[in-house]
Amino acid sequence: QSALTQPPSASGSPGQSVTISCTGTNSDVGTYDSVSWYQHHPGKAPKLMIFGVSQRPSGVPDRFSGSKSGNTASLTVSGLQAEDEADYYCSSYAGINNRVLFGGGTKLTVL
């Protein structure tokens, strides 16, 4: 199975909002409400930001929100801050044999 599709880059100025998309198929994103989003600063461990499409783990600012429509999930970062600059990855359960798919990653730049 192919990876989920994310735009390679996204950007915004401090205080602005940016949305990153994650497109799969009706075999993964479209069927399961198991989309997660991870923030990854180079050299550090990835950090869970969103799970179950739209739920935020304790400690994640409410500036981060998730949603899904059909085969496409989205991560929105509102009120951009400098520390939000990182790589962001989506993931989805993909059914057969307990497979998980990741997106190719989106590099978020805060201008």
Which residue among 22, 89, 108, 110 contacts other proteins (CB under 8 A)?
89
Residue 96 and residue 83: Cα distance in Å, rounded? 37
CA atoms within 13 A on the CB side of 93: 11
Question: Judged by CB under 8 A, which stretch of 11-19, 33-41, 60-68, 74-82 contacts other proteins?
Answer: 33-41
38 touching other proteins, by CB under 8 A:
yes
Distance CA 17, CA 81 (A): 10
Instruction: Provide the binding-site residues for other proteins, judged by CB under 8 A.
Output: 1, 3, 32, 34-36, 38, 40, 44-48, 51-52, 57, 87, 89, 91-93, 97-105
